[in-house]
A and B are shown apart, each in its own frame.
Chain A
Amino acid sequence: MTLLTEKRARRPENETRKIRGKVHLREHLMGWLFVGPFAVVFLAFLIAPLAYALYLSLFQKKLIGGTSFVLFDNYVKAFTDPSFLSGAWFVIRFSLVSIPLQIVLALVMALILDSVTTLFARFSRLMIFLPYAIPTVIGAVMWGFLYSKGFGPLTDIFGLFGATAPDFLGSNLIFYGLLNVVTWQWAGYYMIILYAALQGVDPTLYEAARMDGAGRWQIATRIKIPLIAPALILILVFSLIGTLQFFNEPQILRYLAAGTIGSDFTPNMYAYQQAFSLANFNYGSAISFALGGIVFICVYAFLFFTRKRRSFL
């Protein structure tokens, strides 16, 4: 903004210069006034805590010996800490499976709902979206009870056929148990975003395509999907960031899953445990930042590989 003002101020008309300068100064001030409230909140509740967490992460507090400045020791520790690494590896694996699954499901549902315009389609749209409207905590508790060996329906259903129910809260299947909860909750949300993007596509394109002899399948794959690619990339980035920060569902299910989910199951849970249960705010902050680093790298890599398609950020 300052640059702009100066440039304009250098114009040759000496008379108008002062007046224009004043106008610009006023506009300038108005601009800051509008940005002000946001800037204050942004600085106070985002930048300041972040800076403080970064500051904390550079120290180490011991029960014996007190606090000392250790620079990046906490980060070195994090990246050699099996708890952090296994948690990070888990969320990366989980992302690789859950994100494509959710996106494909959401895309298929959005395409179907886009090409069908009956009352039933509208009803389905609402139903598919509904799980997202249920708070995560309640969703997780509900699924925890459904999975339960003691009083969940699975035991009865499988019992009818004389089989033992799979234990989705056991250590072998917990991955799929969580996958199901997450997909159930989020696929509908992504579907709505994609559906909205599809609504924005100019219908004359479909007409033109049909004139050229394209079938429904071809319209979907050659026209619709390429046109909503920016929305696809947007939800991919959202889901990538969200999944790497996996916290709510495992944190709640750990009370129902006998010892399957430890306090270091995901990096965020580990940071929470370190900070609030072991009072190790320094290491907790370091883990948070280390996770932030991983998220940044993953998102950057993803955006780099899809840079031709994106139209945002």
Chain B
Amino acid sequence: MKRRRILATVAMLAVGSGLVACSSDEGGSGASNCTNTITKQNVPVVTMWGWYPNTQLVVDNFNKLHDDVQVCWTNVGQGGDEYDKFQTAISAGTGAPDVIMVEADRIPTFQIQGALVDIKQYGYDAVKANYGEGAWKDVSVGDAVYGVPVDGGPMGMIYRKDIFDKYKISPPKTWAEYEQAAQKVKDAGGPLFGDLGANVPAVLMALQIQKGAAPFTFDPAQPKSIGVKLNDQASKDVLDYWGGLARKGLVGTQDQFTPEYISGVINGKYATYISAAWAPGYLTGAGVGKGQDTGKFAVAPLPQWDPANPVQVNWGGSAFSVTKQAKKPELAAKVAYGLYADKESLTDGWTNQIIFPLNLTALKDPAFVDLKVAFFDGQQANKEVYLPAAEAYKGVAYAPFGQYYLDAMTKQVSEIIKGSVTGSQAADKLQEDVAKYAKEQGFTVQ
């Protein structure tokens, strides 16, 4: 609480105006404060924001390989931090970089504000064959392409072998088996089986899509109308299922990506972690799977609702987009297409488990396919789980107001966790909330 000055009230109001924050000139074409060092002089420079842990290497590789353009990279924060800054730059009309790393699900949000450039005319055909169909769909709005896929998040079920062995269970193949196994472990006095985190609404969205939900339908030819369907039976079923697991005490209700959650994962408090292909890298970085926990983890395909018709889903994954503020969009597009697309960068990415690449040259590389993942005690996780999941992934149409939708979902999941609503009621409330917002934003909601 700021009580130091009586005028703090007014100062706070001033902050609300956003005037203070948006005058930064990091982006633009003045490439004076790059994180990387540009060695080639008198070459046009393209500015870029990104947060891959190995961006430095990726940028250096790109700059080495190109003589007609150089990249000036700044890390302005990860995920939401970067989006907030980009959003502010969009509102201000200045301050954005030429190329920006965005998660695929955010692309429509920025696209609808006219902040991104359709890069189809700038060399799409040359690289089209390098990525799968689902990967392109995730970065497209209608026929227009607003990003170059880099990494994806095919989902799987990470589990602890020691816990599964101790309670004599095998990896569940369906969600029904998942619940039975959870019950069995609980009855035997074992740990929680999984976690329902209110701050990871994207996981629940993916799981709803797995059961057949199609949250948003959006035809760019009719940009004023949008289909919002968040309370269909599939969406309700999934929320009811997870709400039920939480109510029965089978799964925890901890926010993920927090010290509390990670300490739980390290201490064997959770038997499974429903997550994406980038999770091993993240968990390793957070200190999981080391010391006495070495080799305790394994991964199995995501449980299914109908094992006869398996559906694979995706969580996370990013792309490089060209912003409208880029002065030379063609040059910027060249950077977007070329960054993280050379073999050396990709290999560094997947060997260090930083990314699950979407570039087919990497996906078809036998070294990648047969990789024995150290985190999973030498299990060939790519071949067994993630590659089939990535190949079967069909892509999703994301909402042009993704941030609001995910915030609203978080709110409802918190209510489910509190026990104040059932999953079905939460889905109905979510529908009402998001549809109302869509109308406020000028859409016709179907």
Contact = CB atoms under 8 A, between A and B. Distances in A.
User: Do chains A and B stick together as partners?
Assistant: yes
Interface of A: 45-46, 48-50, 52-53, 56, 62-65, 136, 145, 148-151, 171, 182, 185-186, 189, 237-239, 241-243, 245-249, 255-260, 262-264, 268, 271-273, 275-279, 281, 284-285, 287-289, 291-292, 295
A259 B91 contact: no
A281 B260 contact: no
A286 B29 CA distance: 34
Given A48-B19, A189-B3, A263-B410, 19 more contacts: A46-B7, A50-B10, A52-B17, A65-B442, A148-B260, A150-B263, A150-B269, A151-B260, A238-B6, A245-B12, A246-B1, A258-B199, A259-B253, A276-B87, A281-B91, A288-B13, A288-B16, A289-B13, A291-B13
Interface string B375-417: 0000000000000000000000000110110010011011001
A284 B255 contact: no
A140 B301 CA distance: 40
A63 B442 CA distance: 7
A263 B10 contact: no
Given A186-B1, A277-B403, A256 B258 contact: yes
Nearest to B266: A150
Which of the listed residues B13, B14, B404, B418 has the most CB atoms from chain A within 10 Å of its own CB? B13
Contacts of A243: 1
Contacts of A273: 407
A285 B258 contact: no
A53 B15 CA distance: 9
25 contacts: A46-B7, A49-B14, A52-B17, A63-B113, A136-B1, A238-B3, A238-B6, A242-B3, A256-B258, A258-B253, A259-B197, A259-B199, A259-B255, A262-B410, A264-B411, A268-B12, A276-B21, A277-B87, A277-B403, A278-B404, A281-B18, A285-B17, A288-B15, A292-B10, A295-B9
A132 to B, nearest CB: 10
Contacts of A246: 1
Interface residues of B, number: 58
A259 B414 contact: yes
Interface in B1-55: 1-3, 6-21
A291 B403 CA distance: 24
B198 A241 contact: no
A104 B162 CA distance: 55
Contacts of A249: 1
A245 B1 contact: yes
Given A63-B113, A64-B224, A149-B260, A46 B9 contact: no
A245 to B, nearest CB: 6
B352 interface: no
A63 B6 contact: no
Given A46-B7, A63-B442, A65-B442, A260 B223 contact: no
B187 interface: no
A289 B14 CA distance: 10
Contacts of B440: 62
Contact of A53 (B1, B17, B112, B407): B17
Interface in B163-218: 197-199
Contacts of B443: 63-64
Contact of A255 (B84, B255, B417): B255
Contact of A277 (B6, B80, B198, B253): B80
B351 interface: no
A285 B407 CA distance: 20
B259 interface: yes
Interface string B268-305: 01000000000000000000000000000000000000
Q: Top 6 A-B pairs ranked by shortest CB distance?
A: A259-B198, A242-B3, A64-B442, A288-B16, A259-B414, A49-B14
A63 B400 contact: yes
B17 A150 contact: no
Contacts of A278: 403-404, 407
Contact of B260 (A49, A256, A260): A256
Nearest to A45: B14
Contacts of A245: 1-2, 8-9, 12
Nearest to B199: A259
A292 B2 CA distance: 14
Contacts of B6: 237-238, 241
Contacts of A48: 19
Contacts of B197: 258-259
A285 B12 CA distance: 10
A49 B14 CA distance: 5
A246 B3 CA distance: 10
Nearest to B225: A64
Nearest to A235: B3
Contact of B87 (A150, A186, A242, A279): A279
